[in-house]
Amino acid sequence: MSKVVFDQENENITDLEEKLVQKFESRIKQGFLRLIMLHLIKQGKADNGFQLMALIKEHTDGRWEPGPNRIYPILQEFESAGWITIKENPYKKRQRKKIIMTDKGRKAATKRIKITREVLEPWQKIITRVPDYDDTNPEISSNE
């Protein structure tokens, strides 16, 4: 027997359904995280991991706040790929690391943003044409 939980709109959903929704949302976010990080670094908006976390939270109106366990391993991947360099930068009596995007990184970011736009364009068209599905509303049918 599945435990019933309630979402914000008081719709009954099972634990399994909730887990599937959370997994789906997590995969979407993780799929975009590298791209968002590359974009923010390329734009010169983030010099360090802390700024990346804060900017992502800000740009998503607080709905998404990736932690250091997500951000820093990706920065290491970027550094290993030669897309960024990380330099020590003095900051208030301590060292803070500064992220600098390389030419290779700028090319990689531009290419990935272009590919993402090309991939998302047809999906965006589909999503915007589909009405919000509500099986409790008799006016919305599956034949639309």
User: Which token pair is 89?
Assistant: 């930068």
Dihedral angle computed from the Cα positions of residues 23, 26, 28 and 29, in that order, rounded to the nearest 10 degrees: 180
Q: Which SS3 state, helix, strand or coil, does residue 64 take? A: coil
Q: What is the reported pTM?
A: 0.67
Structural domains of the chain ordered from first start? 16-129 (1.10.10.10)
**69-73, 81-85, 127-131: the lowest-pLDDT one:** 127-131
Highest mean pLDDT among 60-64, 92-96, 99-103: 99-103
